[in-house]
Structure 1
Amino acid sequence: MNRNRTAISPTGFSSIPPIAVHVVGKHSGFTNKALHNNDKMFKVGPWEEARGQSMRLNVNVDSHHLIIPENGVYYVYSQVYFRDERTPTERQNESVHEFLHYTVLDSTGNLVHHRNLMKSGRTKIGGEENGYYFSSHHSGLFELRKNDKIYMKVFLQHEQIKVGRDHEETFMGMYRIGELH
């Protein structure tokens, strides 16, 4: 954040309504949507926004996006749980294992419409006998504008690598910590 152009007011003790959302993997219909034909990069969703550990306060959610309701500084987080369903022999035959996880800003106000806000991952060289699971979590503070959209995408190297759907495995959320003036 550029301190010379942005003044922030904390939302904790003001009359500003709270803005927060936490969405989780949805058991029915939760799939990976390919971003491009024949691509290994997938958009994660749709999200469960009303049941279980999900919650939503003054935020709209569509099938794959959190939609920013007001300008502000937001704490954004996401986690993905990769499940590698290949056999140990199949994993050993692979020379490189990549698990990549991104949180992306889709903004109509920027010249670049889709911008990676955060990226995390794991790359392992060589065979792996016992590694069936891997989770990746990241978070950060970002200056966001009304109607910006946040979504999660993952790189799935093989069809047998799946994204976990349980509420404690794959999730994302955000909350506003201050206004922009």
Structure 2
Amino acid sequence: MCPPNKTYDVESCLSAVKQPAADNYKRRCSGCFFAGCCLALFGLFTLALSIYFLLHVSKSAQDNLSKGVEEDKDHMLEKFQNGKTAHEYISQTRSTVSNFAAHLTGKVVDKDRMNWEDKQGLAFRKGMDYKDGSLYIPQDGVYYVYSQVYFIYNGCKNGYIDLNKHIKTVTHSVNYSLEDEFQPEKLLESRHSACQVPANTDGDSGYWSQTSYQGGLFKLKKGYRLNVIVSMMDLVDFDENKTFFGAFFVSE
């Protein structure tokens, strides 16, 4: 500010007044610019740190996933033998299951043993041999074996089967044995009381019938032969829908 009572150049006085204000403004602008730069650098640093963290976590997760997939793949590959691919392995498994099956139906041939139809009507065989009443197991594994026999009689007397013998029960079993074994072993067996006629039926001429079904899973060896034994073949109805016998491969 110009002192009083002296003559000064007006422009010099104005410059002297404006100079401090301009210096203060420049200092403030410099401080703002510095603070802005610091904030910008901090923001960039934070962004870079966040990106690094995300990339690191993503890579770690991907590595763990890849490791898990590799372990699962290695575990699956252990199941494939002789260099088989997954497609070949699955195809072979399906082929094995579908190729070992048989359904035999009742057939009257003689009265000494149960015989079966293996080709006509509902009967079929696939990968399993049949001979003289016996069904042969083609390879080691778990099989579902089943049999149904329908008994029917129309001549019960006082609760007995009138066949010159006082017989009250009938039996139905599925046996297995090897070719060179004479004594078969039982896989399945059922017993039924015969001639259990209703109370309002004449006991001297009672009609009686019984369906005997049995089945189960068994681990069998190649070469085993299966056959069905019934105690009273004269009472068997050999209709293909009522009396049948079969087996199919389930797993190794």
TM-score (norm 2): 0.53
The runs of at least 4 consecutive aligned structure 1 residues that moved more than 6 Å come to 125-128
Alignment RMSD:
2.6
Q: Which amino acid aligns with 2:227?
A: Y
C-alpha distance 93-166 of structure 1, shift in aligned 2 (>3 A): closer
1:118-173 CA-partner distances (Å, limit 9, x unpaired): 001212587764442111000001111111000000112xx8x4211110111100
Among 202, 220, 224, which residue is 1:148 paired with? Answer: 224
Structure 2 residue aligned with 1:122: 192
Say which one has the larger Rg. 2
Change (3 A) 1:131 1:146: same
* Residue of structure 2 aligned with 1:65, choices 134, 149, 153: 134
CA distance, structure 2, for counterparts of residue 171 and residue 126 of structure 1: 24
- Residues 127 and 15 (structure 1 numbering): CA distance in 2 closer, same or farther, change over 3 Å? closer
Q: Which runs of 5+ in 1 are unaligned?
A: 1-11, 34-42
Q: Indicate the residue corresponding to 2:106 in structure 1.
A: 25
Higher helix share: 2
Return closer, same or farther for 1:141/1:109 CA change in 2, 3 Å cut-off: farther
In terms of fraction of residues, the more strand-rich structure is 1
Q: SS in structure 1 opposite 2:150?
A: strand
Other-structure match for 1:40: none
Unaligned runs of 5+ in 2: 1-88, 161-165
Query: How far, CA to CA, are the matches of 1:93 and 1:137 in structure 2?
Result: 23
Count residues with an aligned counterpart: 149
**Contact 2:197–2:207 (CA under 8 A) maintained in structure 1:** no
The answer for the alignment partner of 2:40 in structure 1 is: none
Task: Say which structure, 1 or 2, has more relative contact order (CA 8 Å, 6+ apart).
Answer: 1
TM-score, length-scaled by structure 1 = 0.72
Aligned to 1:4: none
Aligned partners of 1:13, 1:113: CA distance in 2, in Å? 39
- Equivalent in 128, 138, 157 of residue 214 of structure 2: 138
Q: Is the 8 A contact 1:108 1:148 kept in 2?
A: yes
